[in-house]
């Protein structure tokens, strides 16, 4: 029985690392060999040029950091002690789901099936939220290796997918020629920024999660940079970023419950 459980935990750990590497590979290949002649960035800059919530191109360099973190986690959860950890086993299963959904998202988006890509994005988001809650980020004190190799990678990944979900939905609506109920696109962008700020603020207050909150700040600055000629968007984005910095500074004094390894 114990041998069977050990083999199962090892299988989950190996599959999680394989899923991470497969997702990285598919993302890279989709940039060099896009299915319909245009990769994700090219589609965003052409088909969705009018989607104002999209950050400046440089912001997407965060994917490099995300994959470094995920690979670090993939190696970390392969250790014998971590493989036996029921929490990390559940987290790794959820990460596998997120990776499969992300590969699916790449296919759907490059095939320009934008509303189906939203469904895939929501699967990624829900899987990462579940993993984040399983890890207890910001709720329990953990040893340094667990914080850097598990908590922070998932915080950054979840933060960016939260931003990406908003952009993905806005892009799908744009592709459907949604009229915004008569509200100007600039004002809708400002509204979405405020809503996203409220979501990030809740995490900043409840979890004091620096990594998650900084991802939103990174995205807001990039949105402001892209729209320097649009005061409504740029001022809203910068004001939101400043608000999150202030909330994060105050929330850092929040005590954590216990120590986990």
Distances (CA, A) of 40 to 27, 230, 251: 9, 25, 36
Which of 98, 80, 77, 97 shows the shortest CA–CA distance to 89? 77
Give residue 142's Cα distance to chain centre: 22
Distances (CA, A) of 68 to 9, 59, 64, 72: 23, 16, 6, 6
**CA 207/CA 185 separation, integer angstroms:** 32
Distances (CA, A) of 4 to 8, 85, 159: 6, 15, 36
Q: Per the structure block, which two tokens stand in for 226?
A: 């892209």
Helix axes 185-207, 231-251, angle to 10 degrees: 10
**CA 112/CA 104 separation, integer angstroms:** 12
Output the pLDDT for position 36: 85
Distances (CA, A) of 105 to 64, 171, 237, 245: 18, 14, 27, 32
**CA 226/CA 237 separation, integer angstroms:** 11
The pLDDT profile of the chain, 261 residues, written as one tens digit per residue, is 455 567 789 999 999 999 999 999 999 999 999 988 899 999 999 999 999 999 999 999 999 999 999 999 999 999 999 999 999 999 999 999 999 999 999 999 999 999 999 999 999 999 999 999 999 998 888 999 999 999 999 999 999 999 999 999 999 999 999 987 888 889 999 999 999 999 999 988 888 899 999 999 999 999 999 999 999 999 999 999 999 999 888 876 555 555 554
Output the pLDDT for position 182: 82
């Amino acid at each position: 029985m114990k041998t069977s459980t050990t083999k199962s935990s090892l299988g989950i750990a190996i599959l999680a690392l394989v899923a991470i590497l497969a997702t990285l590979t598919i993302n890279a290949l989709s940039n060099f060999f896009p299915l319909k002649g245009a990769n994700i960035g090219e589609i965003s800059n052409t088909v969705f040029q009018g989607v104002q919530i999209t950050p400046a191109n440089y912001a997407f360099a965060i994917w490099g950091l995300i994959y470094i973190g995920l690979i670090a986690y993939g190696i970390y959860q392969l250790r014998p002690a971590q493989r036996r950890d029921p929490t990390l086993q559940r987290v790794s299963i959820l990460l596998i789901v997120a990776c499969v959904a992300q590969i699916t998202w790449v296919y759907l988006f490059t095939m320009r099936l934008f509303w189906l890509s939203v469904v895939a994005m929501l699967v990624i988001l829900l899987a990462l939220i579940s993993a984040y809650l399983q890890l207890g980020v910001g709720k329990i004190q953990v040893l340094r290796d667990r914080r850097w190799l598990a908590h922070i990678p998932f915080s950054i990944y979840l933060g960016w997918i939260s931003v990406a979900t908003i952009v993905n939905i806005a892009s799908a609506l744009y592709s459907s020629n949604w009229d915004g109920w008569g509200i100007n696109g600039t004002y809708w962008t400002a509204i979405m920024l405020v809503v996203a700020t409220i979501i990030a603020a809740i995490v900043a207050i409840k979890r004091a999660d620096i990594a998650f909150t900084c991802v939103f700040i990174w995205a807001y600055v990039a949105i402001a940079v892209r729209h320097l000629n649009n005061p409504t968007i740029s001022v809203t984005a910068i004001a939101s970023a400043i608000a999150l910095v202030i909330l994060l500074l105050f929330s850092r004094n929040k005590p954590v419950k216990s120590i986990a390894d």
